[in-house]
Homo-oligomer: A and B are copies of this chain.
Amino acid sequence: MNEPIYETVVTTVNAAGTVHVAPMGVRYRGEHVVLMPFKPSTTLDNIVATRHAVLNLITDTRVFAGCVTGRKQWPTRPAERIAGVRLDNALGHVELALHEHADEAQRPVLTMARVHEATHAPFIGMNRAQAAVVEGAVLVSRLHMLSADKIDGEMAYLQIAIDKTASAAEHEAWGWLREAVAAHRARLPPSR
């Protein structure tokens, strides 16, 4: 049985203070948060440089869909105890310090200690359209590896939850994902 993975957004800054926003599946081990970014990774470079990161717990899936479709700037505000930022739309955030860095050729393991955490807004329930956007974002990040049939089949399946349960945020996010699928399709040679 694998460890559970939670979909979050990690915000880091580089030495010059430039913000980087990256959706990331994270694991919790005891009190630690474990990040395993795929190299090359700006998040990895920033954490190695600054020793800090912020874990953002969000349900505004525009960030997930946006980051895989070229929309990488999101409103932030300063972290409280570390040099860094958290997302404006986070339900909560955890400020992290690098505890252990196990380097690996492909996926280093960054074990992060909790410095500070805060809740900003209540969780208002699960939403099937939010989940569909997350699945769609995973799909869009893998377009080059998937057949048109598989993409169309999954998008059609996920569309059902969008139609039935989405808020304006998920409709917007879903539109970005559909555009990305169409743009990918348009780039393929016509024989495929």
Contact stretch, chosen from A35-43, A66-74, A102-110, A160-168: A160-168
A residues engaging B (CB < 8 A)?
1-2, 4-8, 25-26, 28, 57, 59, 61, 91-92, 117, 119, 122-131, 134-135, 138, 154, 157, 161, 163-168, 170-171
Q: Please classify the interface of chain A as helix (H, G, I), strand (E, B), loop, or mixed, using the class held by over half of its residues.
A: mixed
The answer to whether A119 and B117 touch (CB under 8 A), given A2-B163, A4-B127, is: no
Alpha-carbon distance A99/B7, docked complex (angstroms): 37
Cβ B8 vs Cβ A168 within 8 A: no
> Which of these, B117, B135, B138, B164, contacts A5 with CB under 8 Å?
B164
Nearest-neighbour CB distance to chain B for A61, whole angstroms, equals 8
For this chain, the copies found in one complex come to 2
Cβ A165 vs Cβ B135 within 8 A: no
Specify the chain B residue showing the minimal Cβ separation from A7: B126
Cβ B119 vs Cβ A126 within 8 A: no
Alpha-carbon distance A130/B5, docked complex (angstroms): 10
- Chain B residues within an 8 Å CB radius of A164: 2, 5
Alpha-carbon distance A28/B165, docked complex (angstroms): 12
Q: Report, nearest first, the 6 A-B pairs whose CB atoms are least far apart.
A: A6-B125, A131-B131, A4-B167, A123-B123, A5-B165, A7-B126
